[in-house]
A and B are shown apart, each in its own frame.
Chain A
Amino acid sequence: MKDDYKDKLDSLPVDIKLRAADRLKIHLMRQKYGYFSRLCLLMALIGPGILVMIADNDAGGVMTYAQTGSIFGIGFFIPFMIVMLPVAYIVQEMTVRLGAVTHRGHAEMIWKRYGKFWGAFSLIDLIIANVLTLITEFIGITIGMRVFGVPPLISSISAVLIIASIQLFLRYFAWEWISLSIAAFNLVFVPLVFFVPHLHWGAVARSFGTWHIKGGVSSLFIYVVLANLGTTIAPWMLFFQQSSVVDKGLTVKDIRDGQFDTFIGSVFMVIVAIAIILITAGTVYGLTQTPNLDIQTILSAISSKMGPLAMRLFALGLVEAGLIAAIAISASTSWAMGEAFGWPKSINMPPIEGWKFYLPGVISLLIAGGIVLIPNAPLGFLNLTVQVVATIFMPAAMMFLLLLLNDKEIMGEHINKHWQNISAFTIVGFLIIMNFMYGLTVVFPHILG
């Protein structure tokens, strides 16, 4: 029986053959009955949703949440993060359906359905944003490792080697489980909340009733809202999850499991984000009013208020956040390039046969890992450029997603429902308004006081 399977699988192209082996297991699991079998099937199918959401709490995200708590304390941003849960779910769930129905990635769908111009526009934006975001991940990794006495050169080279090895030498399922294991360390922020001195849970509960904005609506407030929105939904996330769903081989039968996976990931993401806001609201809030709060200042404040162990755990969380995001972002770069140019595109590919696919991801890692080591590199400027590119690109990426999800020719019965369109268009509208307001505050700095 097993030999028969092998013969049949050997007749398929290499990347499809390896995916087929995994799908065969899923196919066999699906034939079984009982709660335990169903649980096994669910465990085998989850992954892309949790991974994308945890990777979304990347080094830049940790910094953003830390700055949010430090500047605004407990108030508007605790209930705001709860609202971000359905926002993240609604956006990412669409990529699950699109991937499962079309078996093609987001870059490929834009390229082939809307032409080379928009395909190239999306791809170039994605690659630029990914490389710049990777630099911020390496900043997080090197700063976090410095707390443990590791010099930036060693931590940067080690990170490149670890991430490249995970991508090159593991098959999809092993890659996913190793990545999920690393992602689990993202939860390190949660227990720290219970050691924050003088944290008033009553004030946390009251924030849901008041939505109090400290200092009112200002350009700083809009900047922080946009930064939080930008860390919750980012262009690479759309491309990553859809490609991941395709590479994993999910089909229309797996959509419900993919939705559950995305929901669980959204819950984890919001819990971690709120934990970081609470930690910094309890330790750093009131110390400074500047939006460019240094991570060293935040770590020092955590150390003085909660002790050096808490500071080390926070730094460990920062390293993990950078590492898991770098794994996801470099994979999304490889997938997008493969999809756009029609190369074989699967993490299942052996390194030699799939060198074209792996090369863009590895090069982006080398660029980011190298730039972070350049003395006096304009990292602040690079961080600003990341936000600018993402700001311009996100509504465009969302628009293509919505167009594809409303395309009956390709989606059939899995087309967006009325409520999904209303929710998604509301999110895009809010995103465009906030981007425009932020743009206005850049051009006219005193417009909001």
Chain B
Amino acid sequence: MIKYIDIIGFNGKRCDMKNNKKTSKDINLDEDWEDFIKEEGLIDYNKIPVQKAEIKGWVQIAFWFLRIYILVMIIMVIIGFSRIK
């Protein structure tokens, strides 16, 4: 399989050898694993619903402006394309 996990060939290896005061051996991922997963956002976001935004105030005005803008542009596009010979 071409796609695989390769911890051994990790990019930071050269950094390890050069100038580290603290190496990977000092990091206890057994204890920090949950924090690591949480901090790095390594969860299935498809399973977490996103709350729909409440459309009110200036957001509502922005949406109306967008509708009008799209309508005006579509009319202009139709006129423009109708003139193409």
Contact = CB atoms under 8 A, between A and B. Distances in A.
Contact of A16 (B42, B50, B51): B42
B83 to A, nearest CB: 8
Interface string B2-37: 110111101110111011111111110110010011
A6 B5 contact: yes
Contacts of A448: none
Nearest to A43: B11
A32 B22 contact: yes
Contacts of B29: 4-5, 8
A317 B78 CA distance: 36
Would you call the interface of chain A mostly helix, strand, loop, or mixed? Answer: helix
A382 to B, nearest CB: 12
Given A23-B40, A112-B50, A249-B40, A32 B69 contact: no
A216 B33 CA distance: 64
B3 A349 contact: yes
Given A104-B45, A115-B52, A392-B74, A28 B5 contact: no
B7 A37 contact: no
A384 B42 CA distance: 42
Contacts of B39: 27, 251, 253
B77 A392 contact: yes
Contact of A6 (B7, B12, B42, B44): B7
Contacts, number: 155
A249 B76 contact: no
Interface residues of B, number: 57
Contacts of A21: 5-7
Contacts of A31: 22, 24, 26-27
A253 to B, nearest CB: 8
A379 to B, nearest CB: 14
A12 B25 contact: no
A13 B46 CA distance: 12
A203 interface: no
B52 A114 contact: yes
A403 B62 contact: yes
A23 B46 CA distance: 19
Nearest to A404: B53
| A-B interface, 6 closest residue pairs, ranked by CB to CB distance from nearest | A439-B76, A112-B50, A442-B80, A40-B15, A103-B41, A21-B5
Given A27-B39, A28-B12, 14 more contacts: A4-B30, A16-B42, A16-B43, A21-B5, A29-B12, A31-B26, A36-B18, A37-B18, A104-B45, A113-B53, A388-B77, A392-B77, A399-B66, A403-B62
29 contacts: A2-B8, A16-B42, A21-B5, A23-B40, A25-B12, A27-B27, A27-B39, A28-B12, A28-B24, A29-B12, A32-B12, A32-B21, A32-B23, A37-B20, A40-B12, A109-B50, A112-B50, A113-B51, A113-B53, A171-B2, A173-B11, A251-B41, A253-B39, A395-B66, A403-B59, A403-B62, A409-B51, A410-B50, A432-B69
